[in-house]
Amino acid sequence: MSHQLSGKKILIITSNTGIERDELVKPLEALKSQGAHVTYGSSQGGTTQTFVQDTEKDRTVESQAALAGIKASDFDALVIPGGTVNADTLRQDENAQRLVKEFADAGKVIAAICHGPWLLINAGVIAGKTLTSYSSVKLDLENAGAAGWVDAEVKQCPANGWTLITSRTPKDLPAFNEAIATALAAA
């Protein structure tokens, strides 16, 4: 399904430690192809190495901005790719945590895939929510107060005025990208 996302502004954030290629590039390309303006921001800005399956170096991608200079008020949605190393580093980034809180407080769409929900835990926004993630993150989410965890390619949870979309792995990217586009088209 194709949506017209012209005028919608989406922020994708990662650390600079390296990111699972498909979890960054596929949402970026899919959302741009539907007319959205997509900004890629990273912890320090500049170049980020992508990987295939967390270990095999692929290409580098230039981010347009460092997280410190980004405001949620400039965007309609936040997308958080996973990847073990990226997600573990990003969850400790104070600017990434600030952005998640700003998006949630403003009632916007937040989408996280794979290990990306680790950032949601550190930002303190998942209590009472039902979501999915990479299977090894399930216990972390439950311990952080999530209402539940489901084994589904995509889970959308209304979240006190904001929309939370989560997925498990890169194989779920088509459903993940579609859920983001649908939520933005309805907003």
3 classed as catalytic? no
Q: Give the burial string for 92-130 (b: 16+ CB within 10 Å, else e).
A: ebebbbbbbebbbeeebbbbbbbbbbbbbbbbebbeebb
Tell me the average pLDDT of the chain. Answer: 94
Residue 2: per-residue pLDDT: 63
Domain range annotation of the chain: 9-186
pLDDT in tens, 18-72: 899 999 999 999 999 999 999 999 999 999 999 987 678 889 999 999 999 999 9
Q: Provide CATH code, domain 9-186.
A: 3.40.50.880
User: CA dihedral defined by 31, 22, 67, 139, rounded to 10 degrees?
Assistant: 110
Residue 23: what pLDDT?
95
pTM over 0.85: yes
Q: Which residue has the tokens 């970026």?
A: 28
Angle at 86 between CA 105 and CA 144, to 5 degrees: 50
Contact between residue 147 and residue 166 where contact means Cβ atoms under 8 Å apart: no
Q: Is 37 a catalytic residue?
A: no
Give the residue from 124, 123, 129, 151 showing the smallest Cα distance to 138.
Answer: 151
